[in-house]
Amino acid sequence: MVGDDAAPGRARGEVPSLARKVDYLFRRMHPDERGPYSLQEAAVAIEELTGEKISHNTLWKLRTGRHDNPTKRVLEALATFFGVPPSYFFDDEVFRTVEEQIELLTVLRDTGVRGAQLRNFLRLSPEAQQMVGELIESTARLERRAGTDDVDSSPES
């Protein structure tokens, strides 16, 4: 479950508000073959998955910052639905680690990595996952640079 759009409007290392964290999960964590869940879909799925009844209106309030003090059970249900640890919402280090993993999974998805490759990646230590991500990013930079060089060195007509 990984979607599009990185966490907006914040400097690297800055921890966003609860609303931005919830919104980020909605935008990023969804099946590859579809867009983000609607609030109604999420409310139904959360109840089916966890037994916790959360209205789509409550999800909207959390996502937009109009409600920033949910119960522990609500945060646990959201965490379960999105596949993140509950501490994602209040532990800055866990938040950063999860965000890095989501970004890396997005890169892997965008490069066509699927199935067994992705399962093997998820079994790697956080340090190894970071190394794989850095390798992918540096390879992409090299290819972009090579593409620019090809354009610059093309013969003029």
Asked if residue 109 belongs to a domain, the reply is: no
The answer to whether residue 134 is domain-embedded is no
- Output the pTM of the full model: 0.65
Assigned domain for 46 exists: yes
pLDDT(7) > 70: no
Q: What is the CATH number of the domain that holds 84?
A: 1.10.260.40
**Is residue 17 situated within a structural domain?**
yes
Q: Domain tally for the chain?
A: 1
Q: 149: pLDDT confidence band, cut at 50, 70 and 90?
A: low
- Whether residue 135 lies inside any domain: the answer is no
Closest residue by Cα to residue 86 from 101, 99, 76: 76
Buried b / exposed e across 13-31, counting CB within 10 Å, b at 16+? eeebebbbbbbbbbbbbbe
Give the number of other CB atoms < 10 A from CB of residue 39. Answer: 19
Q: Is residue 141 part of a domain?
A: no
Looking at residue 157, what is its pLDDT?
44
User: What residues make up the domain containing 86?
Assistant: 1-91
- Identify whether 49 is part of a domain: yes
Round the average pLDDT of the chain to a whole number and report it: 84
Query: What confidence category does residue 13 fall into, taking pLDDT thresholds of 50, 70 and 90?
Result: low
* Closest by CA position to 101, among listed 89, 80, 118: 118
pLDDT for res 4: 45
Q: Identify whether 107 is part of a domain.
A: no
Q: Over the stretch 82-105, which tens digit does the pLDDT of each residue have?
A: 999 999 999 989 999 999 888 887
Looking at residue 6, its pLDDT comes to 47
